[in-house]
Amino acid sequence: MIVRKKYNGTPFFQPSDMMAELISRQYSLLQVVSRFGMTLGVGEKSVSEVCQLNGVDTNTFLAVINYVGNGCSPEFIPEPDAISLPSLLKYLRESHTYFLEYSLPSIRRKLIGTINYSSSNEFSFLILKYYDSFCEEVRAHLDYENKIVFPHVDALLSHRATDFTIDAFDTEHDETADGKLNELKNIIIRYYSSPSESNYALNDVLSDIFICNEELDAHGLVEENLFLPAVKLLEAHASEIDDFLIDNRTEDADASLLSSREKDIVVCVVKGLTNKEIADKLNISFNTVLTHRRNIAHKLEIHSPAGLTIYAIVNGLVKLEELE
């Protein structure tokens, strides 16, 4: 269950809270709301009503809102079974689109518009180059999740097997490009002296870089502390189901597997021999024939000679022409 404690002065939202109030109280959550596919114009609707209208699991929405809204504090990490992975996947995929198609290109456009780029201005040129290489790293990271990690979870949710396990993601995930954006911020703050007329524009792009850095950090933490544990739980359930199916398949296979002596008996039965004749032919006692026949009937769940005939032909124990 989600932590229900309300911390002193710390926003902690509940399903019955008004969505409009949530956004007004903490405007930084607006982007989180949008990434769940929700738009403004929420009227007087509660959080759970807006979630329902948008096909989003309310617990998952609030888990992300309360975690991100409280600075990704460990106290706000929900239990893995409180997370609906389809809803969280929707949010993470949309977050990737937001970074790749909106946030990062917007910062680049602002950098170009703010800093004087020309062949004579090597410093500005290097800043843009540095930013582009950061974007490439972020793109590679998000592409890996879009193409490998998320489809793996889709497959698990539809009970399909994959070769991937989430442990691979777990070990590689902290190697993100966040440090580069931090460095870029520091380089601009410490070493770029802008002409005074472009101060406001430079501050604007710098603010965007700060926000983007925080958003990428929060995104990574949501993946590590909400997404990853929920996927591990799903994998554990999937492997329990697999084990169950394998056990049952093994039992079925054993059941259909007749010993060579039992196969001999089946052949005799379908050829019309009596139990006494079978005992004589195979040099075994009459009672042994009866025991074998009981076992065969139990394993195959076939009790009549006609049924055994079909079984024997289908499994190549006899040919149709051998039968009268």
Closest C-alpha to 75, from 131, 154, 171, 7: 7
Do the Cβ atoms of 130 and 184 come closer than 8 Å?
yes
Q: Is 198 left (phi over 0), alpha (psi -120 to 50) or beta?
A: alpha
Q: Between 210 and 249, how does the x/- string for binding to Fe ion read (CB under 5 A)? A: -------------x--------------------------
What value does the CA radius of gyration of the chain take, rounded to a whole number of Å? Answer: 33
User: Least CB distance from residue 173 to Fe ion, whole Å?
Assistant: 6
62 vs 138, beta carbon nearer Fe ion: 138
Cα angle at 130 between 127 and 131, to 5 degrees? 85
Q: Which of 57, 145, 178, 215 binds Fe ion (CB under 5 A)?
A: 145
> What is the DSSP secondary structure assignment for residue 40, as one 8-state letter?
S
- What are the structure tokens assigned to 271, written together? 């050829």
User: Least CB distance from residue 95 to Fe ion, whole Å?
Assistant: 7
Q: Interacting stretch for Fe ion, rule CB under 5 A, among 104-112, 137-145, 150-158, 229-237?
A: 137-145
Closest C-alpha to 226, from 163, 180, 282, 166: 166
Do the Cβ atoms of 258 and 312 come closer than 8 Å?
no
13 vs 169, beta carbon nearer Fe ion: 169
13 vs 134, beta carbon nearer Fe ion: 134
d(CA 314, CA 62): 58
Q: Is 32 helix (H, G, I), strand (E, B) or coil?
A: helix
174 vs 197, beta carbon nearer Fe ion: 174
User: Least CB distance from residue 156 to Fe ion, whole Å?
Assistant: 18
46 vs 87, beta carbon nearer Fe ion: 87
Alpha helices (H) in the chain, listed in sequence order: 19-25, 30-35, 47-53, 58-69, 85-97, 104-114, 122-144, 150-157, 166-172, 178-191, 199-222, 228-256, 260-270, 275-282, 286-300, 305-314
178 vs 223, beta carbon nearer Fe ion: 223
User: Least CB distance from residue 171 to Fe ion, whole Å?
Assistant: 13
Q: Between 256 and 295, how does the x/- string for binding to Fe ion read (CB under 5 A)? A: ----------------------------------------
User: Least CB distance from residue 104 to Fe ion, whole Å?
Assistant: 13
User: Least CB distance from residue 126 to Fe ion, whole Å?
Assistant: 27
135 vs 188, beta carbon nearer Fe ion: 135
Q: Interacting stretch for Fe ion, rule CB under 5 A, among 140-148, 160-168, 238-246, 313-321?
A: 140-148
User: Least CB distance from residue 311 to Fe ion, whole Å?
Assistant: 55
> What is the DSSP secondary structure assignment for residue 176, as one 8-state letter?
-
Q: Which residues bind Fe ion (CB under 5 A)?
A: 145, 223
